[in-house]
Chains A and B, each alone.
Chain A
Amino acid sequence: MQHRSYRYKINYVGPKGERGRERCVVTVHGDGDRTIRALCEMDDSQVLRDVTYTVDRHWRPRDAFVRLSVADRFMGSSWFRFDGNRAECEAFTAAEGRLSQRLVLERAPASFVTHPVACDVWHFAGIDRTLGDQIQESLSASCSPLPNGASGPMLGISRHRFRYRGRQRTRSPAGTFDTEHAEFVGRDGVVRLKAWCTIHDRILVRMEFEPLQSVYELVELEGSAG
């Protein structure tokens, strides 16, 4: 096979210890496309999520599949597709039934919030790294407005505000990595989330999310990661 692949595992850690985990397999292709398969388990909120998400060489969304259950009950199964500034969703959710959505965004979305934490560090792939501490805003599509994404997957819009913090050497249980660091900043100027990821493959090494009192750590990595 011509593609390269790597696998990793992220642990969700709360005040009482491990509260979930995410297993990811990523393939990277000759044309720059990249597909992640993420299986996410949250023990406390009993969320089980499957995501298969493909981006282009610029980390912009191509298509995605999201399937979700909460407390072992089906919440939804949905397919998303992106073409320029158009986004579409074909969904079947427990709450809404069968629905089709078409959105025309003001511009092509920079990313798609599918809710694996592995992809949270993909959202700021396109930020301008020359702007220092200046806050930058980007437009993304989203499959759920909830912090843990635990609603039937449907299309929405999400606006992120980032502050780029530069490169750092970051440790996790999987090792020590050269990373870039960015913060997600709320409209009130408060930092909501701090994230560190590897430079080329944007593998989440560490993330801190104060609203859920959670830390996310890379605990296993194998394969051909760059």
Chain B
Amino acid sequence: MRHNTIRYKILYLGPSGERGREWCTVTSHESGDRTLRALCEMDDTELLRDVTYSVDRSWHPKDCFIRVRLQERFVGSGWFRFAGTLAECETLTAAEGRLHQAIALEAPPVSFINHAVACDVWHWAGIDLDPGRHQVCRPVPACSPLPNGASGPTLSLWPLPVVFRGRERITTRAGVFDCLRATYLTAGGEPSLDTWCTDDPDRIMVKMEWPPFRSTFELVELSR
């Protein structure tokens, strides 16, 4: 096969220890396209999410499939496609039934929030690496407006203010990594989610800290 494959596992950690996990398999292709398959489990909220998400060489979304169960009940199964400024969604949700959505965006989307934490470091792939300067990733469609993504999946928009912090060396159970660091901000400009990803073409999530939800996310296994 011509593609390359990376496999990794991320742990979700709370004050009481492990509260979930995410298994990821990423294939990267000659065209520059990349597909991530993520299986996400959150123990405390009893959330199970499947994501299969493809991006182009610039990390811009191409298509995505998301299936969500919450407390062992079906929440939804949805398919998203992005073409130029068009974002569309075909979905079946327990709450809304069968929906078709099409949104004309102000510009081609720079990313798509599918709620796999592995992709939270992909959203800011296109920002200027200019430490300290506030920037906004937009437009960024999302599959759910909830912090844990436990709704829909349906289309909405979610602007992402972010600030690049610089380069740092981070140690996790998976090893020592040279990282890029960026922090997402609230609408009021306060730090919200701190993120570190590998400073290489693969943008693997190494660590995230999310103080409002007392959560840390850590890369614990990596095979590439």
Contact = CB atoms under 8 A, between A and B. Distances in A.
A186 B31 CA distance: 40
A165 interface: no
Interface in B38-90: 39, 41, 43, 46, 48, 50, 52, 54, 62-63, 65, 67, 69, 71-74, 77-79, 81, 90
A67 B33 CA distance: 13
A107 B79 CA distance: 26
Contacts of B92: 63, 81
A159 interface: no
A41 interface: yes
A52 B90 contact: no
Contacts of A33: 74
Contact of B69 (A25, A29, A77, A79): A29
A39 to B, nearest CB: 6
Contact of B50 (A52, A73, A98): A52
B84 to A, nearest CB: 13
Given A65-B52, A65-B79, A48 B65 contact: no
A2 B2 contact: no
B1 A48 contact: yes
Main secondary structure of the interface of A (DSSP, over half): strand
Contacts of A3: 48, 69, 72
B165 interface: no
Interface band, chain B: 35 or more
A117 B13 CA distance: 36
Interface in B1-54: 1-3, 23, 25, 27, 29-31, 33, 35, 37, 39, 41, 43, 46, 48, 50, 52, 54
A27 interface: yes
Contact of B90 (A35, A46, A72, A90): A90
A37 interface: yes
A98 B63 CA distance: 12
Contacts of A65: 52, 65, 67, 77, 79
A72 B32 CA distance: 10
Interface string A51-78: 0101000000011010101011110011
B69 to A, nearest CB: 7
B49 to A, nearest CB: 11
A149 to B, nearest CB: 16
A48 B35 CA distance: 11
A133 B155 CA distance: 51
A113 B74 CA distance: 22
Given A43-B1, A46-B1, A79 B67 contact: no
Given A67-B54, A90-B90, A92-B81, A48 B48 contact: no
B48 A50 contact: no
A129 to B, nearest CB: 30
Contacts of A43: 1
A1 interface: yes
A99 B29 CA distance: 25
Nearest to A29: B72
B83 to A, nearest CB: 8
A71 B2 contact: yes
Contacts of A69: 29
Please give me the 5 A-B residue pairs with the lowest Cβ-Cβ distance, nearest first. A79-B79, A65-B65, A90-B90, A77-B63, A72-B2
10 contacts: A1-B41, A25-B23, A37-B37, A37-B50, A39-B25, A65-B65, A65-B67, A72-B31, A77-B65, A79-B79
